[in-house]
């Protein structure tokens, strides 16, 4: 089998690939990433992880995957105060519905959505649930940072991926060093910490009006971000995605 890009295939190749293969849709965002990272960070990183994962699969004769062009816009209403280009939840949901419906019309029965932006998460999950209810498909969804091959040791336990902080900056230093404005400025902790990141009680989600503006747009200090550790983190996520694709292939290939 093979890895290919839908945008480069003829329609008959797309059809043929859909008989056995998996369609994979990356989704990202265009939104503020503090003063040192570019607007497209989430899109660039999800594309990087997907590219590396598909390269790994190609070397391993993995399952055939047709990669769709990344959707470069996501759901970022909380960043509209800072120049985001944002789709509403309804619009993003409709885009996903239309793309997924198109793929099933073309014969695909196994589809993955790989997400690069936290704000897309619930919308993606609802879309794949809707899709599996209305069509005879098996569909998977993930955000790239939640997959790991478990080999790294490069992460920092005190830093969840966050936004425009140590994690994303390290990855960008590895993947697109020319797009990171250096030196990355230090950032003092905000008091109280943002409620969306530090809920007052475990298990409780809290949203406060104006919170992103109050905390200045990032979750943690990125001054110590590190390209080497960023590259190891990227490799780990890419390998995690490659293994997830293989596991999805195995689980969805089995006759029911």
Residues 52-91 that bind its own copies (CB under 8 A): 68-73, 77-80, 82-91
Using the 8-state DSSP alphabet, how is residue 216 labeled?
Answer: T
Q: Which is nearer to its own copies, 102 or 228 (CB)?
A: 102
Contact positions with its own copies (CB under 8 A) in 10-39: 10-12, 14-15, 18, 30-39
Least Å distance between CB 247 and its own copies?
4
> b/e for 67-79, b at 16 or more Cβ within 10 A?
bbebbbbbbbebb
Options 55, 146, 151, 223; binder of its own copies; rule CB under 8 A: 146
Q: Which is nearer to its own copies, 1 or 82 (CB)?
A: 82
Q: Are 92 and 74 in contact (CB under 8 A)?
A: yes
Contact positions with its own copies (CB under 8 A) in 219-238: none
Contact residues for 22 (Cβ-Cβ < 8 A; gap 6+): 63, 64, 65, 66, 108, 110, 111, 112, 245, 248, 249
Count residues contacting its own copies (CB under 8 A)?
103
| Terminal C-alpha separation, the chain | 23
Contact positions with its own copies (CB under 8 A) in 122-141: 122-123, 125-126, 128-133, 135-141
Site string for its own copies, 92-111 (x = CB under 8 A): --xx-xxx--xx-xxx----
- Per the document, the length of the chain is 256
Contact positions with its own copies (CB under 8 A) in 178-217: 179, 181, 192, 195, 200-211, 214, 217
Q: Which is nearer to its own copies, 146 or 228 (CB)?
A: 146
When asked if residue 167 is in the footprint of its own copies (CB under 8 A), the reply is: no
Q: With the CA atoms of 50, 26, 156 and 36 taken in that order, what torsion angle do they form, in degrees rounded to the nearest 10?
A: 110
| Tokens found for residue 117 | 């932006």
């Amino acid at each position: 089998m093979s890895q290919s890009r839908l945008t480069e295939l003829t329609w008959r190749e797309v059809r043929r690939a859909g008989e056995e293969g998996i369609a994979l849709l990356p989704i990202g965002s265009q939104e503020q990433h503090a003063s040192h990272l570019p607007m497209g960070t989430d899109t660039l990183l999800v594309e990087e992880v997907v590219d590396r994962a598909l390269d790994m699969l190609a070397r391993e004769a993995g399952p055939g995957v047709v990669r769709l062009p990344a959707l470069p816009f996501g759901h970022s209403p909380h960043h509209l105060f800072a120049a985001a280009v944002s789709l509403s939840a309804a619009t993003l949901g409709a885009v996903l519905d239309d793309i997924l419906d198109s793929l099933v019309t073309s014969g695909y029965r196994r589809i993955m959505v790989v997400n690069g932006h936290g704000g897309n998460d619930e919308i993606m999950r609802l879309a794949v649930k809707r899709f599996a209810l209305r069509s005879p498909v098996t569909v998977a969804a993930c955000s790239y940072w939640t997959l790991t091959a478990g080999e790294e040791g490069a992460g920092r336990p005190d830093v969840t991926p966050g936004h425009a902080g140590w994690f994303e900056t390290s990855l960008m230093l590895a993947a697109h060093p020319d797009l990171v404005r250096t030196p990355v400025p230090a950032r003092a902790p905000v008091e109280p910490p943002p409620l969306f990141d530090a809920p007052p009680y475990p298990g409780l989600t809290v949203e406060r009006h104006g919170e992103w503006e109050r905390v200045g747009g990032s979750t943690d200090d990125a001054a110590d971000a590190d390209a080497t550790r960023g590259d190891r983190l990227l490799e780990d996520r890419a390998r995690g995605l490659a293994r997830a694709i293989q596991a999805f292939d195995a689980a969805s290939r089995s006759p029911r």
